[in-house]
Structure 1
Amino acid sequence: MSSTLQDLVNRAVFYSTEVQTHFGALIADAEWEVDFSSDPHLTFTPADGAVLRTRPHLLGSESDREKTWLWGWENVNDFPDAIVGLSHEVRKFGAAEEVSELTTPELSLDEELALRLTLAAKEATHKWAHYPAAAGAGTTVWLLVDAAEIALPAPQVKVSVRALMQGLTQTTVTDHRAAIESYVAKRGIPTAELPEGGLRMLFADGSADLSFDDQRRISNCDLNAPLEGEAAEQFAAAAESTGTPAEAATASRTSGSASAPAAEETAAPAVPTPSAPAPTPTDEPSRTEPQPVEEPAAEAIPVAEPKPDEPAAEAADASHEQKQPENEQPRADESVQPAEAATPAEEEPAEEAKPKKKGLFSKLFGR
């Protein structure tokens, strides 16, 4: 059975959003460096010195100058297989699923393409974190990122509801119901059917009741915490049916997880994207600064509206190797610097209105 690019986006968007939020919290206020040698690594060093070394995979690249996306498997820069090998898996997956966007070497860019290809690649590879980095000359490479520390902790109701709300602002999601069903399956979240086609997501710390319109879009979300009443009984029954005590269910982790810290009511980190330093070893690495995001309300949350004018963030982990002159191409032995983004503006007098700045959460998702 074949898929479309949109099908893959629907399946990946919410899980990717939660992972990107968790990843953003880990690397907030960190200096970082990317190395595309035969031992590739993407390293983040926060102020406290606790280095996070991750394994990057070059997915593809986007060129602002040429307005194109180029898949990493096309490999115009002759990177070693350690860098581009995973992108070949995406191409094979695309061929099997008959998704032409994953098998066409170069594509014309639109505003959301890099993000959507990245989401599709995540669904294909099950690598759920990504990072976009500037490679110079208007090129941004998109990296899928591996690290045990990125594994998610046990699901929590506020964190999951936030992932749903933010995911809908990142890109077009055509079937909210199918997207949620994919998300709860990936996260191991029990559900219960509600009247009139609604769905209840069940957590150790609460529940979320979702309503849908006739186009399968989320029309309302009631977040309830703590877990009690009928929802508590349903959660206990779900734990019993799987042969797992409720206490064990609350401590479960997503597949492949290590000992990840609990994400108690973690607000989505809006960390500004590090500015790209000049290509000299003495330049000071960029930093990120945390920026709070509103907690989801613990009451009915209408969400059937289309994407807001100013999207919160997008989950894109594209990497584009632009066809550019030899002296402008990123080299296998050179570090690739993070994509540039503005830092949050401090409060200014009302008469000096300034445009909103994008934080790292936005840039981490590719917007």
Structure 2
Amino acid sequence: MQNSLTFANLLDDAALLSLEHQLHLEEVLDEHSWHVDLQQQRFEFTGARTITCTTFHLLGSAAPGPGSWLWAWANPSGFPDPVVAASTTLRDFGRQHGIAELASAEVPFSALPGSPSEPHLAAGLMTEAAKAVTGLWTSYNGDAGGGTRAAFLVEHPDFRLPPPEPARVMRVIQQALLGLTLTDHRRVLHGYAARRGFQADSEAHRIRLRGPGFEAVAEFDQDDRISGIKADLSSPDAGHARS
């Protein structure tokens, strides 16, 4: 059994593509409310228009009382099998690869990277790892009452990403570097390039990314972390950006 894959690896693998999907989801939903009926297997967003998800997956919940995350497959309330199937897949993946955060029924917040104290932060970490395993990239973290946050993966044609656009790609990379905790910057960029269909060429102190309408060079410092990015955008408003 291969145990080289870690929870931190999964967070790095998910980081950029997940962020891009969540930015797109915000644009699609705008101001909205949400409603889920787990027994009827119905999840919908209401706002300017109603979006009923074609499929959704309950991953689990993060509760402030016990200060822990509970996977949906282990919830004693019991939910329909299709609703918790993704969480069961994650459990099996965790057992196969020796990743305790996925394999354990309940995970204390203190056992997660950064020891988050807030339920939404803990739920966010578990959801990110789930995305890297399932290949489902759009999530929703909702208030389940009493400070508990429930985490879902949601599917709908409108949630699919449009073709990559140079300025948006750079925005995603720069926003991730500023706002996300990333462990392996090279892994992050290579993973994003592979999943988004870009070319990534690695050199000693840089990675060169090439995609439709852009080329970017990420420079690394002595700690192998990105110190800056130069991008050449060949879209109509071509220019250069550096972070």
Residue 168 to residue 299, structure 1, CA distance change in 2 (3 Å): closer
Equivalent residue runs for 1:91-170 within 5 Å: 91-109=91-109, 110-111=115-116, 112-170=121-179
Say which structure, 1 or 2, has more relative contact order (CA 8 Å, 6+ apart): 1
8 Å contact from structure 1 (residues 157, 223) kept in 2 = no
> What is aligned with 2:242?
300
> What is aligned with 2:46?
45
The amino acid across from 2:224 in the alignment is: R
8 Å contact from structure 2 (residues 123, 149) kept in 1 = no
> What is aligned with 1:175?
184
Q: For each residue in 1:104-133, what CA deviation from the matched residue of structure 2 results, as whole angstroms up to 9, or x when unmatched? A: 111211324322221111111111111011
Question: How far apart, CA to CA, are the structure 2 residues paired with 1:227 and 1:28?
Answer: 27
The amino acid across from 1:300 in the alignment is: R
Equivalent residue runs for 1:276-291 within 5 Å: none
Q: Does residue 1:207 correspond to 2:219, yes or no? A: no
> What is aligned with 1:66?
66
The amino acid across from 1:103 in the alignment is: A
The amino acid across from 1:62 in the alignment is: A
Aligned residues: 230
Residue 46 to residue 113, structure 1, CA distance change in 2 (3 Å): closer
8 Å contact from structure 2 (residues 142, 151) kept in 1 = yes
Residue 76 of structure 1 aligns to a residue whose secondary structure is coil
The amino acid across from 1:139 in the alignment is: T
Return 5+ residue gaps in structure 2 as ranges.
Answer: 110-114
> What is aligned with 1:7?
9
8 Å contact from structure 2 (residues 205, 221) kept in 1 = no
Calculate percent identity across the aligned residue pairs: 30
- How far residue 79 of structure 1 moved from its aligned partner, in angstroms, is 1.1
Q: RMSD of the alignment, in Å?
A: 2.1
Runs of 4+ in 1 over 4 A off after TM superposition: none
Q: Does residue 1:185 correspond to 2:194, yes or no? A: yes
- How far residue 170 of structure 1 moved from its aligned partner, in angstroms, is 4.6
Residue 188 to residue 223, structure 1, CA distance change in 2 (3 Å): same
Q: For each residue in 1:276-333, what CA deviation from the matched residue of structure 2 results, as whole angstroms up to 9, or x when unmatched? A: xxxxxxxxxxxxxxxxxxxxx93321xxxxxxxxxxxxxxxxxxxxxxxxxxxxxxxx
- How far residue 58 of structure 1 moved from its aligned partner, in angstroms, is 0.7
1:27 aligns with one of 22, 26, 29? 29
8 Å contact from structure 2 (residues 124, 141) kept in 1 = no
Instruction: Name which one, 1 or 2, has greater alpha-carbon Rg.
Output: 1
Return 5+ residue gaps in structure 1 as ranges.
Answer: 229-264, 266-296, 302-367
Q: TM-score, normalised by structure 2?
A: 0.87
Q: Greater helix percent: which structure?
A: 2
Question: How far apart, CA to CA, are the structure 1 residues paired with 2:81 and 2:163?
Answer: 34
Q: Does residue 1:218 correspond to 2:160, yes or no? A: no
8 Å contact from structure 1 (residues 132, 142) kept in 2 = yes
8 Å contact from structure 1 (residues 19, 150) kept in 2 = yes
8 Å contact from structure 1 (residues 5, 116) kept in 2 = no
Q: For each residue in 1:57-114, what CA deviation from the matched residue of structure 2 results, as whole angstroms up to 9, or x when unmatched? A: 1101011122111111102111111221110001011111110111111121132432
8 Å contact from structure 2 (residues 33, 46) kept in 1 = yes
Question: How far apart, CA to CA, are the structure 2 residues paired with 1:162 and 1:197?
Answer: 22
Q: For each residue in 1:133-181, what CA deviation from the matched residue of structure 2 results, as whole angstroms up to 9, or x when unmatched? A: 1111221111111122211111122212222222234542111011110
8 Å contact from structure 1 (residues 71, 106) kept in 2 = yes
